[in-house]
Amino acid sequence: MHDLETRELRYFVAVAEELHFGRAADRLGIAQPPLSRAIRQLEQRLGVRLFDRDRRGAALTDAGRVMLREAKAALDAVSAAARRTRRAGDPQRPLVLVTKAGASHELLQRLLDALAGEPGAAPVEVLLCEVGEQAGLLRDGRADVALMHRPYDDLAGFDTEDLHVEGQVALLPAAHPLASRDRLTLAEVRDVPGLPIARWPRLDGSYPDGPGPEVRTQSQLAQLVALGRTLLVIPASSRAWQWPDHVAVPVVDAPEVTTVIAWPPGSRSPAVASLVRTAAALRGNVAEV
């Protein structure tokens, strides 16, 4: 059995993300020679090559890609253990609920109102994030629970409870001819001349191919839609953040989106269990915006 140290994992992840030993060494605050030695020793112990090296930098092998996924999960678990242990020692601490900014607004408001009316309920701190960030915050212990969306968010490994199912809308510039329609199809929104669909990063950080602009934040996206540079298809409840320069039109054949509440598997926190029960009790009582 090959026991791995967290130091080795951090070194490996830095090189795997930078794909350059010099940049990884700068990021870690160490010299490059000991970093290179540490990676060679790690490869020797595991009996596999993790990187293909050349003068320009490094590229992950198949084994390296597996190692990157597992190393990041392991480092998240170590961070989560430390954070949750520290918070468990403070009985007055609030629960941290993470959600994508602008998403499931009505459901979130109803949940917070319901919790405020429960005697003895733990206080809740709301952590707003960008698209796709909930899973990482939940895995590394910076959040206790999360509102997430199937099929778009990474729910692997979490316990979940379905809360709300809704359709999707196309968010368009108000001046665009399609904004006057009362309904659209996916085929129509995928082929709008001069108005390509915005591209969000995948779970691995890469972007899908296409002509649309690459976006990472909803503020970027909102302005690009208002400027007539892009459109997107989003859950109907996400219209809570739309600008006056936007119009939302239902997309009748878009796949439905399910809002779920997610939490780490095997959680023994009574406060988390109480929050999940309160959320589940709201199921079916949330109208689409």
Q: What pLDDT was estimated at residue 1?
A: 46
Q: Omega of the bond prior to 151 within 30 degrees of 0, cis?
A: yes
Q: What pLDDT was estimated at residue 85?
A: 73
Q: What pLDDT was estimated at residue 203?
A: 66
Residues 100-124 have pLDDT tens digits of 888 888 899 999 999 988 888 888 9
| Contact assessment for residue 123 and residue 94, using Cβ atoms and an 8 Å cutoff | yes
Tell me the H-state helices in 123-267: 134-139, 186-190, 218-226
Q: Which domains does the chain have, with CATH numbers?
A: 6-85 (1.10.10.10), 94-166+257-281 (3.40.190.10), 168-251 (3.40.190.10)
DSSP letters spanning 205-229: S---SSSSPB--SHHHHHHHHHTTS
Q: What pLDDT was estimated at residue 127?
A: 94
Q: What pLDDT was estimated at residue 249?
A: 96
Tell me the H-state helices in the chain: 6-18, 21-28, 32-46, 62-88, 105-116, 134-139, 186-190, 218-226, 270-281
Distance CA 246, CA 223 (A): 10
Q: What pLDDT was estimated at residue 216?
A: 85
For the full predicted model, state whether its pTM sits above 0.85. Answer: no
The pLDDT profile of the chain, 289 residues, written as one tens digit per residue, is: 467 888 999 999 999 999 999 999 999 999 999 999 999 999 999 999 999 988 888 999 999 999 998 898 888 878 877 777 776 666 668 889 999 888 888 899 999 999 988 888 888 999 999 888 899 899 888 899 999 999 989 898 899 999 999 999 999 999 999 999 999 999 999 888 889 999 888 766 778 888 889 988 888 989 999 999 999 999 998 877 788 999 999 999 999 999 999 998 877 788 889 999 999 999 865 544 3
